[in-house]
Structure 1
């Protein structure tokens, strides 16, 4: 119905333009559902938008637009309100017509072509493959997946990408951590570094390598620790120590170091892939940093920046003039030792996204990447790319609670709850729903007890119970050997006059608007809020009225309404990636 009103307004504007009463008209007209039904069902601010160019008062423009509106069987009346809003009051037929639309369009209801098939790359999660995914990573996975689904629903061509950070120091720390655990399995006496990865998964990987390769990578511990500086807390620096033992491992293992590195990487990455697949999170591409930086792409980027004058040398290092583009300070691209920084590699990676033909690039990162945004936008602008095409959505952290107490977590020490453990405890549906029911900039207090509760206080249980209740209605219908005549129901929607029915019809009509808004604002919580409200409206209807009544026309009309509600819930569930149980 919102689109119908937009069409009416466009027709009125065109008429006024042709008569010379209005200048050039905008391509976009904002029509929104009203919160207070005393002000109508929908409203538009188009008169306020056009008042300046029309050189008229907003209310005068609104009056002219209102008089030029074509007649519609779905609009009961219009009125000008406030400084120049135009309010639309719909007929009962307009409100109930949404049922026929939903039953006809089914899974297509709420979808649109607003995106015009623009290509969007969404990079999300991209956790370093140094260990299993934990509950914090789960938010990035769920949020990115639902944002991508929403963009698909409104007509964008969405491409999901995981950037595999399989190069750099953290991967070397993981490799050494695995190798030292492996040496212990071979009978060597090892002292584990303070800054190594300590999780049980490291031991499990070491056991797997030892089980397949035996003592192939064995080096006596006396050689491993020979000549190393002191570690923490023996008066040394843990960062210096871990770097020294990495260098030692590379020297002692030589070419075999790469083998241990790859075995560890493949094991962790394989676990991440499997975990996400089970969580319903899928990618079109797993982009390897190691493979990418091995090409000449980054070097070509640096040459372009040099040629454009955005790079300079200082203290033996190569710097990017990031401050020329509103960043707080300039950034190092190549260190004085000749090694490229992670920033240089990442700039090249982001440029590759645009070179692959994507119109919009979205990065979904943790809130700790806040300072990373201006420097990356600066690099894009310096490279001739409109920085507005690069969007960053930053997710706040997740705090886990059990029994009212916070669960402590630390990735490096290995004391964390994995995403897999969370899913096994509360289920995929609760995990995904809880992860996206807050704005990205809000922290999430994940209550494990609430997520498992089979009560109305658990939001995912509440919305799924509404779906199951509707399914039970149709099961009861079959048990009574009655049939649902959809055509008869649609032709008698005028019988739906009860307040709960009108409320449900209003809620159903808002679904396309919610999907569009949630997609264009990258806010999945708008959808979780909507399905909760829709479920509440249905539960109120279910508790107030009988659906399977004697009068066939009223029965079919009510069944048509609840069938449309079930379809809309299902459409929302599919976008959220949660199941639709037929019984609970």
Structure 2
């Protein structure tokens, strides 16, 4: 059940009737007609922009269309009033049984309430985290991991066929640096004193890897040149780091469907195939680029390179794919990786990058547009930085990591659920302050606690009702006389529940899972508000002397709990049954 979609269907049907009656001209397109909550709840239950978007193509005044539409809409028993506001917006008020029916629908459908067929089974690849396999995940990766995982769950809930993917950056020079760093720990494990040169990884997390390498090869590599050990240690160290990263992700509740190795692109013909595909479309040429902005012209040495005509697909400049010495640029394997995704048959691609990857957005979109002939959209989401605080001060770096605060530092402090929820309390491209004390604080100002407290209160009232001998099975509650939910506060809470299916689709269309966290906070606020009003108005309390009335009120509370649980499930957070 999607009440907003139902009323939109009513509006579109009414507009069609107005067209047939000659009140509107033939040929109007209704795609941009919306039905949504009004900005000010005092104005009504729903609002439609129909008159505003149709006035110009219809050649009519917006208010004239709105007034005619209002007259027809009130013929439907669901619409108790339709009022024209401003230049032509139409505010609608719905009959109470509409909202009461939402409560019954939630209980009948359970956590499937709000699930959508918006995606129609389209295949979507969400690539996220994709950290270099050189150490444990840090707090920046944590935000990207939470965002990507919640987005994947949201899209799945909205009817898409989702693949969660991690791109292992194991093809660059950084893995050689990792191997050298592990080799130093290996020598240390053999009792040697070592110094870590600049550019190596000095974190304690490599101590165990060095010990493990010693256990595997003994002293075979001691005091040997790189040519004897670099390849083997590189592979050993990379796998050890990926084991560490997988464990970090598991601690956060993140499980990938696929790990794709950058190294697999080399020597397999994938890069060559991707570039050949672009060349077949006349998008590869030999040429020179203008000097980068900020370069002094006389310091610039123009060199002929193999270039991709990315400007033909929305980029600012064309991009080199092969250097003058014949080696591939860093961009070439990125093209090949996305070429592979396109070849796998995805209908849409989503990449979640860190804030420092803003320069990659246009070139990667251009590449995917070119490779797919414009048929596969790529959405790139950037996650901004996280600032950590504790006791009012910036949180210090991790000694074990050496240079940064790790994902495990955060999860060990506050738990996976609180970490995930709080990481979604801001839009992905806005900076986020993560205060350990506030995340654990039991107050209205902590959205994690506030939403969990609402769910725990629902569980508490269900237990209380059961102890009083009231049947609280969902099927029985759904069959209760819900017309007894007639107070404005009860109807307002039911109306907030009705927004859930629409909210899911809106969030999925925009790839914005933070909207789920925002909605849950609003729903919790409405629930707590009703609970608190019961302190002053006894008839609003959930448990009454009359079992029938109690069941109706418990049905509303239970419906609220169901939707909170569904929303928390999308965010990857376990709903609380009680708080202590």
Same fold (TM over 0.5): yes
Q: Within 1, Cα distance between the matches of 2:84 and 2:32?
A: 20
Aligned partners of 2:342 and 2:372 also within 8 Å: no
Shift of 1:278: 2.7
The answer as to 2:146 corresponding to 1:126 is no
Encode CA deviations 1:123-151: one digit per residue, 9 max, x unaligned.
Answer: 11111111001111110110001111111
When residues 497 and 157 of structure 1 are mapped into structure 2, their CA distance, relative to the original with a 3 A threshold, is same
1:83 matched residue in structure 2: 87
1:469 matched residue in structure 2: 457
Q: Within 2, Cα distance between the matches of 1:187 and 1:563?
A: 63
1:14 matched residue in structure 2: 16
Encode CA deviations 1:50-69: one digit per residue, 9 max, x unaligned.
Answer: 22222222222223333444
Q: Within 2, Cα distance between the matches of 1:293 and 1:52?
A: 57
Q: Within 1, Cα distance between the matches of 2:122 and 2:40?
A: 36
2:110 matched residue in structure 1: 106
Once the two structures are overlaid, the 10-residue window that deviates more, 86-95 or 125-134, is 86-95
Aligned equivalent of 1:288, options 233, 257, 261: 261
Q: CA RMSD in A?
A: 2.3
2:26 matched residue in structure 1: 23
Aligned partners of 1:489 and 1:553 also within 8 Å: no
Helix, strand or coil at the partner of 2:328: coil
Helix, strand or coil at the partner of 1:370: helix
The answer as to 2:491 corresponding to 1:518 is no
Encode CA deviations 1:66-95: one digit per residue, 9 max, x unaligned.
Answer: 344484332112122222222211111112
2:184 matched residue in structure 1: 180
Q: Within 2, Cα distance between the matches of 1:316 and 1:3?
A: 57
Encode CA deviations 1:280-333: one digit per residue, 9 max, x unaligned.
Answer: 212221111111233112112223334415321453532223345453433221
Map 1:526-537 to 2 at 5 A.
526-537=515-526
1:566 matched residue in structure 2: 561
When residues 310 and 40 of structure 1 are mapped into structure 2, their CA distance, relative to the original with a 3 A threshold, is same
2:251 matched residue in structure 1: 278
Once the two structures are overlaid, the 10-residue window that deviates more, 474-483 or 412-421, is 412-421
Aligned partners of 1:76 and 1:90 also within 8 Å: yes
Shift of 1:398: 0.8
The answer as to 2:491 corresponding to 1:502 is yes
Aligned partners of 1:455 and 1:462 also within 8 Å: yes
When residues 62 and 457 of structure 1 are mapped into structure 2, their CA distance, relative to the original with a 3 A threshold, is closer
Shift of 1:271: 1.3
Aligned partners of 2:470 and 2:547 also within 8 Å: no
The answer as to 2:174 corresponding to 1:170 is yes
Return structure 1 stretches of 4+ with deviation > 6 angstroms.
410-413
When residues 331 and 412 of structure 1 are mapped into structure 2, their CA distance, relative to the original with a 3 A threshold, is farther
Map 1:248-263 to 2 at 5 A.
249=226, 251=227, 253=228, 256-263=229-236
Gaps of 5+ in 1: 225-248
Encode CA deviations 1:324-359: one digit per residue, 9 max, x unaligned.
Answer: 545343322112332211201101111221221112
Once the two structures are overlaid, the 10-residue window that deviates more, 289-298 or 21-30, is 21-30
2:45 matched residue in structure 1: 41
Q: Within 1, Cα distance between the matches of 2:240 and 2:62?
A: 65
Encode CA deviations 1:457-502: one digit per residue, 9 max, x unaligned.
Answer: 3221221111111111121223233334765775432222334313
Q: Within 2, Cα distance between the matches of 1:39 and 1:373?
A: 41
Once the two structures are overlaid, the 10-residue window that deviates more, 321-330 or 126-135, is 321-330
- Count of residues in correspondence between the two structures: 553
Q: Within 1, Cα distance between the matches of 2:189 and 2:382?
A: 42
Aligned equivalent of 2:433, options 432, 445, 464: 445
The answer as to 2:203 corresponding to 1:199 is yes
Shift of 1:452: 2.1
Aligned partners of 1:196 and 1:412 also within 8 Å: no
The answer as to 2:5 corresponding to 1:3 is yes
Once the two structures are overlaid, the 10-residue window that deviates more, 362-371 or 332-341, is 332-341
Aligned equivalent of 2:58, options 54, 58, 66: 54
Encode CA deviations 1:499-526: one digit per residue, 9 max, x unaligned.
Answer: 4313212211111122122221222221
Shift of 1:214: 1.4
2:242 matched residue in structure 1: 269
Q: Within 2, Cα distance between the matches of 1:479 and 1:488?
A: 16
Once the two structures are overlaid, the 10-residue window that deviates more, 340-349 or 450-459, is 450-459
1:338 matched residue in structure 2: 326
Aligned partners of 2:286 and 2:304 also within 8 Å: no
Aligned equivalent of 1:358, options 346, 355, 361: 346
When residues 327 and 488 of structure 1 are mapped into structure 2, their CA distance, relative to the original with a 3 A threshold, is closer
1:556 matched residue in structure 2: 551
Q: Within 1, Cα distance between the matches of 2:118 and 2:366?
A: 29
Aligned partners of 1:122 and 1:161 also within 8 Å: yes
1:379 matched residue in structure 2: 367
Shift of 1:178: 0.6
Q: Within 2, Cα distance between the matches of 1:460 and 1:270?
A: 30
Helix, strand or coil at the partner of 2:183: helix
2:335 matched residue in structure 1: 347
Q: Within 2, Cα distance between the matches of 1:291 and 1:388?
A: 23
Aligned partners of 1:433 and 1:576 also within 8 Å: yes
Gaps of 5+ in 2: 289-302, 535-540
Aligned partners of 1:306 and 1:312 also within 8 Å: no
Aligned partners of 1:489 and 1:554 also within 8 Å: no
When residues 500 and 65 of structure 1 are mapped into structure 2, their CA distance, relative to the original with a 3 A threshold, is closer
Shift of 1:103: 0.6
The answer as to 2:160 corresponding to 1:156 is yes
